[in-house]
Amino acid sequence: MKLRELTGPLIAISLPFLLFNLLKFNPSLDIQFAVPRGHFYIVSSVALLASIIAIAVGISGSRVRNIKISFLAMAFISLAEVFSVHGLSTPNMLIHVSHLPGVAAQGSVLLASFWLWLSSVSSDNGFIVRLSKWRQWLVPIWTIGLGILGFAALSFPHLIEWVPLDGLASKWLSTGGVIFLNGMTMYRYHQSYRYSRFPLQAAIVYSCCWMINAQLIIVLGETWRLSWWLYHFLLLASMLVMLYGLFKQYASNQSLTMTIRSLFTNDPVERITSCLSPSVKELVLATEIKDTYTAGHNFRVTMYALKLAEEMQLQPEQLRALSQGAIVHDVGKNMIPDAILNKPGRLTPEERFIIETHPVKGYEMCRNLGFMKEELDIIRSHHEKWDGTGYPDRLQGEEIPLLSRIVAVADVYDALTSTRSYRKAWTHEEAIHFLKEHSGSHFDPICVQAWVNVSSRDPEVYRLPSNLASPLFMSMPSGHKGVV
Alpha helices in 263-348 (DSSP H): 268-273, 278-290, 297-311, 316-326, 338-341
Backbone angles phi, psi at 35, to 5 degrees: -130, 75
Domain ranges in the chain are 3-250, 261-474
Q: Cβ contacts of residue 32 below 8 Å, gap of 6+? A: 224, 225
**pLDDT at position 480, please?**
40
Backbone angles phi, psi at 330, to 5 degrees: -105, 20
Q: Which amino acid is at 296?
A: G
**Cα separation, 139 vs 142, whole angstroms:** 5
**Cα separation, 297 vs 333, whole angstroms:** 13
What CATH fold (topology level) applies to the domain 261-474? Hypothetical protein af1432 (1.10.3210)
Q: Cβ contacts of residue 41 below 8 Å, gap of 6+? A: 87
**Cα separation, 385 vs 93, whole angstroms:** 68
Three-class SS string for 100-156? HHHHHHHHHHHHHHHHHHHHHCCCCCHHHHHHHCCHHHHHHHHHHHHHHHHHHHHHC
Nearest to 143 by CA among 232, 73, 202: 73
Q: Which residues pair with 375 in a beta bridge?
A: none
DSSP 158: G
CATH number attached to the domain at 3-250: 1.20.1070
**pLDDT at position 44, please?**
79
H or E segment to which residue 49 belongs = helix 36-63
**pLDDT at position 3, please?**
63
**pLDDT at position 289, please?**
72
**Other CB atoms within 10 A of residue 396 CB:** 14
**pLDDT at position 262, please?**
40
Backbone angles phi, psi at 371, to 5 degrees: -65, 145
Backbone angles phi, psi at 477, to 5 degrees: -55, 140
Q: Residue ranges of the chain with pLDDT lower than 70?
A: 1-4, 57-65, 164-167, 195-196, 250-279, 288, 290-295, 421-422, 464-484
Q: Is 89 in a helix, a strand, or coil?
A: coil
Q: Compute CA 21 distance to the chain's CA centroid, rounded to the nearest angstrom.
A: 36
**Cα separation, 329 vs 302, whole angstroms:** 9
Q: Compute CA 333 distance to the chain's CA centroid, rounded to the nearest angstrom.
A: 20
| pLDDT digits 0-9 by tens, 117-173 | 999 988 778 888 888 888 778 888 998 999 999 899 889 888 777 776 656 778 889
DSSP 345: S
**pLDDT at position 264, please?**
37
**Other CB atoms within 10 A of residue 35 CB:** 13
**pLDDT at position 260, please?**
35
Q: Which residues pair with 40 in a beta bridge?
A: none
**pLDDT at position 464, please?**
66
**Cα separation, 448 vs 312, whole angstroms:** 11
DSSP 333: G
**pLDDT at position 64, please?**
62
Backbone angles phi, psi at 92, to 5 degrees: 65, 25
Q: Is 400 in a helix, a strand, or coil?
A: coil
